[in-house]
Amino acid sequence: MRLPLALLAAIALASLAAPLIAALLGADPAAVDLLDRFAGPSAAHPLGTDELGRDMLLRLLEGGRVSLTIGIAAAATAAALGAAVGLVAGYLGGWADRMLMRLTDGVIALPLMPLLIVFAALDLEKLGISARVTELPVINLLRIVGLTVLVGWTTSARLVRSATLVTRQRDFVRAAQSLGAGTPHILWRHILPNVLGPLVVATTLSVGDIILLESVLSFLGLGVQPPLASWGSMLSNAQEVIASAPLLAVYPGAMIFLTVIACNLLGDALLRQFDSRDRTRT
Amino acid sequence: MIRFTAIRMVEIAVMLALMSLAIYGLIGLMPGDPIDLMMSANPHLGSADLARLKALYGVDQPLLHRYLAWAQAALGGDLGYSRLFSAPVAATLLPRLGNSLVLMGASFVLAFALALGLGIAAARRPRSWLDRAINFGCFAGVSLPTFWLALILILVFAAGLGWLPASGSATAGDGDLADRLRHLVLPVAVLTIASLGGYTRYVRAAMQDALAQDHIRTARAKGASEARVVWHHALRSALVPITTILALSFGTLVSGALVTEEMFAYPGMGKLIFDAVMGNDYNLALAALLLATAVTMAANLAADLAYAWLDPRVSYR
């Protein structure tokens, strides 16, 4: 658990501190230097330069900031939505449970990538939103967050539902019920705190899944748009010059891989932790 | 059983009808209007021609009318005409569907066979170094961006070593079986690696549960060989949960195939959907998306039926 956590923390801190590192190196990640394209590693550019002569290391860190922001924001939103679905389905049971779980299984079973491409290609201007708004970087980010939430909420819905099914049988929940507590109160004060474990696991796992999904969408040209760049959109640019500069395609992919595997290993370690704690308690 | 299958078929039909309506509505919101394109391509057209063109293509009608007209024609077997390929949609779709089924089928069989071997090896000795190594490999597999893996393989085996072709499904003018197989190697490898990690984890978890059951102890107690215990007794009960999860992951396989096909310019359904959506080919995009969904749902139904066949305790009445 320590290694993936340390790796994630290192990537996140370095990405957040990108402006600081840029200042230390005395370089600007957006500075174009056409005379110094495809340069190899040097003291000024530790990982060399890209097709426009921009510093690769700083570009990677900037890309990480975008990828991680989307990953964390979307995972948190998806977790909240999934938790709401899981709590209601697990606690109410019966008809509501059947409908909600049918919906969850339905979403999981759909061919999501083709459908996401349709959603990603939608023209917001045809919905009556002005071009000035749709071209804002914030809208670009929100749009990707929205797309990934559409598919990302199912993991937490399932995990929270099964944890809720167990928790609602516990004595303190029955006590609260017999004291006449309302359903929202029981869900919020008694059930939610006891399903936080699985929720944390689901969120950690989704951060990885969402970063992968965002990278695919951006690679296909449907995700992060210039002036912003994520690891996925950097790979999309690198693909065009892959014959002359293969390393440009290796770095961003390696960053995605390291971040996602760290999230997955951390989620798995957390899952084991909560599992063994549950076992010793009962 | 027949009743269950019939109910599920009706459900699938209702789902497809609802999805067709939703996608029909969404597709109109994609950028670029075919009529606008025609207008800008020909400076001699005026506003009277615009109205005439709109009437000709029926886009002056309300959305629901247009949808119902489309649905009526589609049910009669007329899926319309593809703007991108200048051919009827049905004639464009079917060969692509065949190509995709070859790619997905080969990857699925390969990934499932490897996952059975690896998952069972890991489950037989939990917490051994082999189990840990396989587990780590699975995490690496699910964390690998599919398109990046494809890019690296193209770089090494096609551009670098020159062993295998990087794109397409056959060399133009050649196209015999050996040539087609050579074109399949890299896409199948990518899609297999992309699914292998997840499958192996399912198999390992299901086998570990199965090996802990009482009937396994009984089988061992009466002196069945280890191979028979694992491959006959345990695998039989492990296959039930495995089938369910694999069926649910079929949609993921379709998604993975889209990215893989796009990377290798492999003429399958996934690439077709992507090209149709990007190229504003409404008729083609709509039919291709519905077909991909229908294939996925049919696979899920097949898995439900396999579930009943594998587990005698389950019966659908």
Which chain A residues are Cβ-neighbours of B263 within 8 angstroms? none
A218-231 mean pLDDT = 83
Query: How close A227 comes to chain B (CA, Å)?
Result: 21
Q: Nearest residue on chain A to B301, judged by CA atoms? A: A109
Q: Closest Cα of chain B to A43: distance in Å?
A: 28
- A87-121 pLDDT, tens per residue? 999 998 888 898 898 888 888 878 888 888 888 88
Are residues A147 and A73 in contact, defined by beta-carbon separation less than 8 angstroms? no
DSSP assigned state of A49 = B
Q: What is the mean pLDDT of chain B?
A: 82
Interval B125-155: pLDDT, tens: 888 899 889 989 999 988 999 889 988 888 8
Chain B segment 286-305 residues within 8 A of A by beta carbon are 288-289, 292-293, 296-297, 300
Closest CA to A207 of A71, A7, A66: A71
Put simply, the answer to whether B254 touches A243 (Cβ < 8 Å) is no
Nearest CA among B183, B181, B184, B233 for reference residue B212: B233
Q: How far apart are CA B262 and CA B277, in angstroms?
A: 13
- Helices A56-92 and A2-16, axial angle in degrees (round to 10): 120
**Which among A216, A242, A261 has the least Cβ separation from residue B143?**
A261
| Average pLDDT score, chain A | 83
CB atoms within 10 A of CB A105: 14
B chain contacts of residue A122, beta-carbon cutoff 8 Å = 26, 29-30
C-beta neighbour count of B282 within 10 angstroms:
21
CB contact under 8 A, A118 and B278: no
Distance (Å) from the C-alpha of residue B224 to the closest C-alpha of chain A? 33
Q: What pLDDT digit, counting tens, does each position of B40-84 carry?
A: 777 777 777 777 777 776 666 777 777 887 787 778 777 777 777
The structure tokens 């869900």 sit at A187
Pairwise pLDDT comparison (B265 vs A79), residue with the higher score: A79
Q: In angstroms, what separates the C-alpha of B254 from chain A's closest C-alpha? A: 6
Choice between A215 and A27, residue whose per-residue pLDDT is larger = A215
Whether A81 has a pLDDT exceeding 90, the answer reads: yes
**pLDDT tens, residue by residue, B36-46:** 767 777 777 77
Name the band, by pLDDT with cuts 50, 70 and 90, for residue B315.
low
Contact, A156 vs A83, CB < 8 A? Answer: yes
Specify the pLDDT at position A85.
93
Closest CA to B291 of B7, B8, B19, B5: B19
Q: Please identify which residue in the block is written with the tokens 């899920």.
A: B300
pLDDT of residue B284: 86
Mutation pick from A112, A118, A122, A158 vs chain B, by most beta carbons of B within 10 Å, is: A118
The predicted model gives B274-289 an average pLDDT of: 85
Is A234 in the B-facing interface, judged by CB distances under 8 Å?
A: no
Q: What is the ipTM score, two decimals?
A: 0.83
Contact A239, B121 (CB under 8 A): no
Q: Are B293 and B273 in contact (CB under 8 A)?
A: no
According to the model, what pLDDT value does residue A281 have? 45
Ranking B29-38, B107-116, B175-184 by mean pLDDT, the lowest is B29-38
DSSP SS3 for A264: helix
